[in-house]
Every structure is written in structure tokens, then in C-alpha cells.
Structure 1
Amino acid sequence: MAERGTLRLPAPAKLNLFLQIVGRRADGYHLLQTVFQLIDLADEVELKWRADGRIERLCGAEGVGVEQDLAVRAARALQAASGCSFGVDIQVHKRIPMGGGLGGGSSDAASVLLGLNALWGLGLGLDVLAAIGLRLGADVPVFVHGRSAWAEGVGECLQPLSLGDSAYLVLDSGVSVPTSELFQAPELTRDAPPATIAGFVCGAERGNAFESPLVARSPRVGAALAALRQVGAGSAWQVGLSGTGGCCFARFARRSEAEAAQAILARCWAAAAPAPDSWIAEACDVSPVHRALGL
């Protein structure tokens, strides 16, 4: 029986602490190795049960049409896969920057799948929901499974990782280059030697294959990375680019260190017009969506 009412769920962002391309499938999809770190920067997804089977978007990402909205597409895909006759009103309140490589749209879709599974009383397992999500985007499964993870394949082969407590200073450079353009970049390394989880944990595996192509196309991304390396010198464990977007991060052991770096960063960027947005985010090895739903 469906739980008639309204659900309000977070849709957390992710950072790619490591990302490389190790090959290509016969269908043209690139084979990746990456580390997904969930963080507490999050959109809010509101789902209101409907009896009439209609799926309506009341609020969503600015500039994204209804047919392209992953939250709407996720609801439709789940309804079709389950044969459910119920519907939903969807509102997504965006806090995660779009095009930043933080997975906001994919996370919204995952929260819709998880939330409607509960709201419609479907009782589907996470593997089934993740398989539905994979058809929407390669990042959706990690948000459905709700654990920070080592990922391979196109991003769907997941092994949960406990990455420990960290605080992240996340900087939005404001740059958004189409992912397809970056995948086609001639200088992109597509045949990196396979890495291992042990290599990542000990610090031997770092970096993002898309950093050089993106910096070459946008000096602003290079400036953002340089600024983070400067303010994090001596205290940051790692500075890097997330995904294929324009958001960069510096990883610290303690929130106080991230806050101190953010204060320095604000002074460094004081003359910028406009200064880039930045956030302090903390690591979430378990998704707040799973906590909210008791998964």
C-alpha cells in the first residue's frame, strides 16, 4: 500500500577524488575508474503522492525543460518499469551548481527513484532501482546505492569505500564545457594503466583525466585550481577537479582548516567580478537519503 502524502528528501552532491579512462567498450562508451565521495551539499527533492497517475513538475532546475529533467525522467522510468498507477508532483530546489561536475541532476534522479519506491509502496530493491537509474545516466547508480565508492565500468560497477572524515572547500569556477566535447578532446588520455583501490588509499593514484583538457579550454578553471593549491598549501590533503565540470575542491582533515582556507580564498578573489561561489562540505560515506528513508 502506498504511503499517501509528501516526502522531502536531500539529493547529495559527489566529488570525484580520482578519475581516469582505461579503455572503451565496443559501443563507444568509455571505461572509467573513479572514486565517488558523497558530500553534504545537497538539493532538496519534494514528492507529493497523486492518485491519478500524472507526473507533474512544479519546480525544477532553471533552464532545463521538463522532457530533459532527470527527476521527471526518473519518475516516468520507474512508473513504466513497475506498472504503478500512481503519480507524483515533483519539486526540486537546487543548491548544487549545474554543470559543475558534482552530479546534481543524477542525484535528483536517484532521490526520486528512492523516494517514489517508498511513496508508491513498490518495495523494489536497490539493484533494480540502480538498473533503472543507469539508463538515465552513469552517475545515478552510486546515488541510488548511497555509499561513497570505488567505481569501474562506465561508473556502475561499485565497491563501497569508507573514506573517513574530511572537510572539503568546494569552489565553483563558473565554467561549464559540454561533456561530449571533453570526451572528444584529442589530448585526453584514454588508455591509462588500471589503478587499484590500494593505490588510491595510499595516495599513489590521484588526478582527473579531464583536468588538462578543461584547463586548456578555460583558464578560469586553471586559476581556480591554482588558488585552491595556494590557500591549501601545507594543510590540504588533495586539490582536484570533480567530474567533467568546473567545480574544484581542496580536501582537509578538519572543517576548521577548510574554513580558514575559505577565508583566505575570499580575500584572494575580492577583486573578481563576480567572485566565484564556494562552500564548505563534509564527507558522507552514507547518503543522507538512505538515512532519511531508513535504508
Structure 2
Amino acid sequence: MDSQLNTQTSHDWWPSPAKLNLFLHILGRYENGYHQLQSLFQMLDYGDKLAFDITEDSAICMATPLAGVDDDDNLIIKAARLLAKHTQCKKGVSITLDKCLPMGGGIGGGSSNAATTLVALNHLWKTGLNEDELAELGLVLGADVPIFVRGRTAFAGGVGEEITPAPQKELYFLVANPNVHVSTAEVFTAPELPRNTPAIAWEDYKFEKTRNDCQQLVENRYPEVAKLLQWLVNYAPSRMTGTGACVFATFSDYTLAEQVRAKMPEAWQSFVAKGVNRSPLLDKLEQQK
């Protein structure tokens, strides 16, 4: 998994790992319009990387701006500003992003970037928040951010904020991107979305007894997602993650996953990663202490 570390090595990189939703059930809808969900968030040992150059002025900026994304709309900048305001920190930072996860793919790129920013700057700025406080702050930025702050494979309920650590056997995943952008809002407002799946206890989770309630709808509207899933399922149990568009296949063996990846049509971007119960972000933080 170190192939992505061959870029500028002078930086002190902080990992911003991807996640998969191994399943996603929609139980119902709250009065405020939010959906009641159940999901299993699987951390991966692969993702983006961020570096933070601390400054003594209060300016917060991207050294590597994202094409087409204004700094004010960038979750990384929002996370840094939120932490600075919440803790009344007067320091600044110039942030470098080494991006390899697709945007809008359902594998947590933006949310993970925000969480890494909170965790790293809390340490580097010495703002002193604990994990619970950082997770609570992360929820302001997005429902998935606390999962990445806590950094453990976890079962989630409610709108995603009820988190229970749920260690899994560490398998390998071939993750592929069909190169379409699926709008999460479009999926969750669709009238044909199932909203009545019975709740399960996290201890009863089995991949083959669960599903992604968004998958059929997305397959119907985005033929490229359906095509990719039909291709993958010939080789291994496969599913869409989150509201898409990325999909994954599950393997117990790294070599086998890479062999299937080698056969994949070049139109689809893909990578193989290991599912880990502890995020590489937590390991990095531990090394800093």
C-alpha cells in the first residue's frame, strides 16, 4: 500500500484513509426529514494524505487548492477554521493535500480530509480537545466526520452519529470507481428509495444477510454503476458503498484481489486496500506523542 507515498517526501504526511459502507439499511425517516440508517463503516489502509505547515499568523489556506472548489467551500479549510474558532487559537496553517481518492465516490474522501485536519491541527496547534470533543465538532461538518475522527471500524445508527466499535476480520477490498458522480441528495430524496428495512443488532451482521438499500436505485439511474457491479460479482461478493458511485468486491487474499484488478477494463479507476480495525490516522497520532 506504500505506492502512494512516492510523492514529495519532505512533508510530514498525515493519513486521510478511505472507508467503505459494508452495508447500508434505511429504517425510516425522522420528522426533520433525515433518514434513520444502519451501516457498518470499514476503515481502509489507503487514502489521501495531508501535510500541515503551522504559521504564527492566523491565516488558514490551501497550498494545493482543489480544482473547481473554492477555499470557503473546502471541508479541509472549514475544519481548520472551525477548530481555530472553537478553541480561540491564533495560529495559522498552510495545508498540502495529496489527493488520490475520487470526489463524490462514497468512500469518505472529503469527510476523512476534514477529520484528519481536526485531529492533526488539534495536536500541532496544541488546542487540547479530546476525541469526544473533536468528534462532536466534526459532526458540524458532516455526519461521517466523527467516524474518521474516532478512527475505528464501527457500526453506526441514527443519522450516522450513534457509533459502536465493531471490529471485523481484516479482509482485502478491490474498490472501483465507475467515473460517474452520484448526488447523495438525489438518492435520499428519491420517492422509490426503500425506507422500511428492519433494524438489526450489530453482533448479527453478516455480509450476505445485508444489502445497500440505495444500490438498486443508483443502478437504475446510472447504468455504468450497474455495469461495473455486474462485472465484479463474477469474481467475488460485491456491493456499492454508501450512495455510490464506488463499488467494492471482497477478498480474503491480496494477490487474488490484484489479479482481478489486473483484468478490469481501464475505463474504471481502482485500487486494492486492506480493511483495518484501527485507522492509520490513529497510528500517526500515537507516533507523535
TM-score by length of 1: 0.90
* Alpha-carbon distance in structure 2 between the residues aligned to 1:11 and 1:219: 30
3-state SS of 2:205 partner: helix
Instruction: Tell me the equivalent position of 2:256.
Output: 257
Maintained 8 Å contact 1:60/1:94: no
Instruction: Tell me the equivalent position of 1:80.
Output: 85
Instruction: Tell me the equivalent position of 1:282.
Output: 274
Instruction: Tell me the equivalent position of 2:285.
Output: 293
* Alpha-carbon distance in structure 2 between the residues aligned to 1:96 and 1:138: 19
Maintained 8 Å contact 2:105/2:182: no
Out of 18, 25, 31, the position equivalent to 2:23 is: 18
Maintained 8 Å contact 2:18/2:47: yes
Alignment: residue pair count = 277
Out of 141, 148, 154, the position equivalent to 1:149 is: 154
Maintained 8 Å contact 1:7/1:119: no
Maintained 8 Å contact 2:173/2:251: yes
Gaps in structure 2 of 5+ consecutive residues:
1-10
3-state SS of 1:164 partner: coil
Maintained 8 Å contact 1:22/1:32: yes
* Alpha-carbon distance in structure 2 between the residues aligned to 1:65 and 1:249: 31
TM-score by length of 2: 0.92
* Alpha-carbon distance in structure 1 between the residues aligned to 2:87 and 2:209: 41
Structure 1 position 208 matched with structure 2 position 212: yes
Maintained 8 Å contact 2:171/2:275: yes
* Alpha-carbon distance in structure 1 between the residues aligned to 2:64 and 2:244: 24
3-state SS of 2:257 partner: helix
* Alpha-carbon distance in structure 1 between the residues aligned to 2:244 and 2:181: 6
Out of 8, 14, 17, the position equivalent to 1:9 is: 14
Instruction: Tell me the equivalent position of 1:3.
Output: none
* Alpha-carbon distance in structure 2 between the residues aligned to 1:210 and 1:65: 30
3-state SS of 1:59 partner: coil
Instruction: Tell me the equivalent position of 2:176.
Output: 171
3-state SS of 1:20 partner: strand
Identity of aligned residues (%): 40
Query: Equivalences for 1:184-203 in 2 at 5 Å?
Result: 184-201=189-206, 203=207
Moved more, 11-20 or 159-168: 159-168
3-state SS of 2:127 partner: coil
* Alpha-carbon distance in structure 1 between the residues aligned to 2:15 and 2:202: 28
3-state SS of 2:283 partner: helix
Shift, 1:180, TM fit: 0.7
Which amino acid letter does the alignment assign opposite residue 37 of structure 2?
Answer: L
Shift, 1:7, TM fit: 4.5
* Alpha-carbon distance in structure 1 between the residues aligned to 2:201 and 2:239: 19
* Alpha-carbon distance in structure 1 between the residues aligned to 2:277 and 2:179: 27
* Alpha-carbon distance in structure 2 between the residues aligned to 1:37 and 1:276: 22
3-state SS of 2:134 partner: helix
Maintained 8 Å contact 1:18/1:205: no
Moved over 4 A (4+): none
Shift, 1:204, TM fit: 5.3
Shift, 1:87, TM fit: 1.1
Instruction: Tell me the equivalent position of 1:220.
Output: 224
Out of 136, 145, 151, the position equivalent to 1:140 is: 145
Maintained 8 Å contact 1:7/1:115: no
